[in-house]
Amino acid sequence: MPIKRRDFVKMLPLGAILPGQILSSFPATASPYSSDNQYPSGDFKSTLTEQDIDQIYKQAIVIDGLIIGRGWNQDSFKALDDAGYTGFNASVDSGSLSKATKNLEEWQKIISENPGRLVLATSAEDFVKAKKEGKVAVMLGFQNSTMLANSTDNLDTLYKAGTRWMQLTYNERNLLGDGCTERTNAGLSDFGIEVVERMNELGIIVDLSHCGAQTTNDGIKFSKAGATINHSMCEALHKNHPRAKTDEQIRAMANKGGVMGIICLGYMIGPNLGTETTLETYIDHIVHAVKVGGIDHVGLASDFAIQGLEASGATRDNWYVPRLTRFKESYKVQWPPWIPELDTTDRYRHVARGLGKRGFSSGDIEKILGQNWLRYYRDTLKS
């Protein structure tokens, strides 16, 4: 019987998957989450203290699956230092091809002018290098594909300019397929399948976060490499939200080696922020995704500025009110939109501590913090 990709990963020693990574010095311990479809019993007690978790975090490779890259400034650098990240995917403004390449050039300039702090990431090894040198790796990409117009040749242009990941659609339909808030659910077009094939050939990550249900299914099916759900959440826990992914989609993605980043944007995690939706609700999404997809296929993703929404200047008038017309009612936008512990540069320290309390082992915490993204980049990127 053929071995599934996710099962093959579990058979390998960690050093074979992640050579050269700085691993936790804590002894390996049994984790109730290391096998599929297991939750810990109510009396499961973690042996890790908060001090242990903080040390694990310091040693770990920490990767944020999505940071909004516009408006980068000195406050952003200060927040990056505080966050303790090893790397992140920068969401670059798309639009037309000329606008996209211009914005890629601007980010390349930021990186080149800060060689002691940043590394342009075009391969998994750039994240390992960044960790060893005390820098931060930045992988550039887009949350839409409109800049391709109707030519796959534009993918080559974007690749040469540094692009290593691209979302097939945003919320609306484009030439590749239907987005998650589109009235129809047509899936990928013929051109969309052609684009996915060329992305695979070049080594550009296929992201399905904002894609419609059938476009998500098609993206997983037609991508030869594992597709990613870069920043999303579990439909089983937040029903009827267009951005959520079903158990079937999470499982299919994992079976082909992909990773799902659990989004930190609070109103995506659940209704009634501050009461029913808290940091514990966020941890619930991680636990559920691990149960469905396996411990090797879940990561983390912010979907806002590195400082957090409040610190970056988001207000009711400039953030919430515009979204009431920009997004459909099904998006369930709330104000304030954040979970307090996640709207801070300590967001993933809070998450790591929460995972420890839920019984995750040191090794499994490290996987969710960044090792799963790193493994996925090794599998997917060509250079």
For residues 239 and 257, give the distance between their C-alpha atoms in angstroms, rounded to a whole number.
25
Please choose, from the candidates 334, 347, 364, 330, the residue with its C-alpha nearest in 3D space to the C-alpha of residue 267.
Answer: 334
Cβ pair 369, 348 in contact under 8 A: yes
Please choose, from the candidates 281, 285, 224, 277, the residue with its C-alpha nearest in 3D space to the C-alpha of residue 250.
Answer: 285
List the Cα angle 216/222/223 in 5-degree steps. Answer: 90
Please choose, from the candidates 280, 354, 262, 344, the residue with its C-alpha nearest in 3D space to the C-alpha of residue 57.
Answer: 354
Cβ pair 303, 265 in contact under 8 A: yes
Token pair in block for residue 103: 């914005």
Place of tokens 């514990």: 280
pLDDT in the model for residue 382: 82
Place of tokens 């013929």: 190
Token pair in block for residue 33: 């989450």
**Backbone phi, psi, residue 372, to 5°:** -65, -40
Please choose, from the candidates 175, 95, 84, 174, the residue with its C-alpha nearest in 3D space to the C-alpha of residue 136.
Answer: 84
For domain 48-380, the CATH superfamily is: Metal-dependent hydrolases (3.20.20.140)
pLDDT in the model for residue 30: 53
Cβ pair 72, 92 in contact under 8 A: no
pLDDT in the model for residue 41: 35
pLDDT in the model for residue 42: 38
Q: What is the CA radius of gyration of the chain?
A: 19
Tell me, what DSSP letter sits at residue 265?
B
What are the 10-residue block averages of pLDDT along the chain, 383 residues in total?
A: 46 40 47 51 64 97 97 97 98 95 97 98 98 98 97 98 98 98 97 98 98 98 98 97 98 98 97 91 98 98 98 97 96 96 98 96 98 98 82
